[in-house]
Amino acid sequence: MSFVKRGVVVALLLTGSVAAHAADIRLLSSWDKTNPAVGKLVEPFAKGVETATQGKIKFIVSGPETVPPFEQLQPASTGVFQMLFTHAIYHYGTTGMAVGMDAVRGSIDARRKSGMMEVIDRHYQKHGLKLVGLALSATKGYHMVLRQPVSANGDLQGRKIRGTPTYHPVINMLGASPVVLPGGEVYAALEKGVVDGASWPASGVLGMRWYEVAKYLLRPTFGVNHYLLLMNLNAWNRLSESERNILAAEARKIEDNWFKEYDQMVAEEEAGLIKRGMQITEMGAPQKQKVEAAWASAQWDLAEKKNGQEAKDLRELLKKQGLTD
């Protein structure tokens, strides 16, 4: 059954539930509970809203087992699901406008005052979605796990590394070849040697148990990470002003917590992975000098390739404020 047909069936099946519980919000997540972002962002947000509304708004959370991550924007924009928790690269086929967020540094206040949230919000409204929250980490973002340590030259020459397109310039800079695989297929690919390593957010490997099939953590980490909390625009407009304020306030809380806690989460996970037998392997000095620039360039190149002048203007806005390269 095609996704469109599946979406129609899901919508019809849920019609009775929506009629009975008009304030239920169907939230679609690109990850299941093994990803710490779900426990740190989605669950506190949902609980906070339910508490603040005294149960008038409740959430039905579905994950990638319901709709594949790269196919989730369309059912959210059309209202089959009212909310979407995701990353910009997962819907790059439609828009890449928010991809550059992974290259935005600075304090949380500087980011909020920069005007970027408003730009991103206006853009997604063109796609029938409202930006409710944009969680950004402080200084840590992404890393790689490897089956073997780096070469004597400090690179990954000749290896195959799993990564979505955002990682490709970093993978190439290290001398490796990128392989695109869904997260759920990475464990088996590492175990069988289909790939020699995998790129992933710097917190999240522990829950997926990749330490069983990859024994090295590549350092340093690079970039920062972001998560988008989007809502179907029609569903947002149907909420009362009080309800919209509650959703915005709870989103701001999880943004604050992610900024404060993510770097510590990375440190704690690294310690846990080392305890389970993983070791640190360091990029060579030349690669360390290039990795952040390669990462930032990759994010904005992708955004500009997809969204042209609109993305260029956003990058320039942030460059003038010293928030990106």
Each residue of 264-273: pLDDT tens digit? 999 999 999 9
CATH number, domain 3-139+225-263: 3.40.190.170
Where in the chain are all domains bearing CATH 3.40.190.170? 3-139+225-263, 142-222+269-320
Q: Are 19 and 76 in contact, with CB atoms under 8 Å apart?
A: no
Of 128, 122, 121, 31, the residue nearest 82 (C-alpha):
128
Q: Are 231 and 78 in contact, with CB atoms under 8 Å apart?
A: no
DSSP string, 35-84: SHHIIIIIHHHHHHHHHHTTTSSEEEEE-TTTS-GGG-HHHHHTTSSSEE
pLDDT for 182? 85
Q: Give the count of beta carbons closer than 10 Å to the beta carbon of residue 276.
A: 12
Q: What percent of the chain has pLDDT over 70?
A: 93
Mean pLDDT value across residues 70-90: 97
Band (170; pLDDT cuts 50, 70, 90): very high
Mean pLDDT value across residues 105-114: 97
Q: In the predicted model, is pLDDT for residue 3 greater than 50?
A: no
Q: How confident is the prediction for the chain on average, in pLDDT?
A: 93
Band (184; pLDDT cuts 50, 70, 90): confident
pLDDT for 62? 97
- Least confident among 12-16, 116-120, 125-129: 12-16
pLDDT for 21? 43
Q: In the predicted model, is pLDDT for residue 213 greater than 80?
A: yes
Q: Are 221 and 142 in contact, with CB atoms under 8 Å apart?
A: yes
DSSP state of 277: T
CATH number, domain 142-222+269-320: 3.40.190.170
Q: In the predicted model, is pLDDT for residue 291 greater than 80?
A: yes
Q: Would residue 281 be called left, alpha or beta, if left means φ above 0 and alpha means ψ between -120 and 50 degrees? A: beta
State whether residue 168 is helix, strand or coil. helix
Q: How far apart are CA 252 and CA 231, in angstroms?
A: 15
Of 133, 134, 130, the residue nearest 236 (C-alpha):
130
Q: In the predicted model, is pLDDT for residue 112 greater than 60?
A: yes
pLDDT for 305? 97
pLDDT for 2? 43
Q: In the predicted model, is pLDDT for residue 178 greater than 90?
A: yes
pLDDT for 5? 42
Q: Give the count of beta carbons closer than 10 Å to the beta carbon of residue 153.
A: 12
Q: How far apart are CA 29 and CA 72, in angstroms?
A: 8
Band (7; pLDDT cuts 50, 70, 90): very low
pLDDT for 245? 98
Band (63; pLDDT cuts 50, 70, 90): very high
**Strands (E) located in the chain:** 24-29, 58-62, 83-86, 129-136, 142-146, 160-162, 177-179, 197-201, 216-222, 226-232, 279-282
Q: In the predicted model, is pLDDT for residue 171 greater than 60?
A: yes
Q: How far apart are CA 64 and CA 267, in angstroms?
A: 27
Mean pLDDT value across residues 88-110: 96
Task: Tell me if the pTM is above 0.75.
Answer: yes
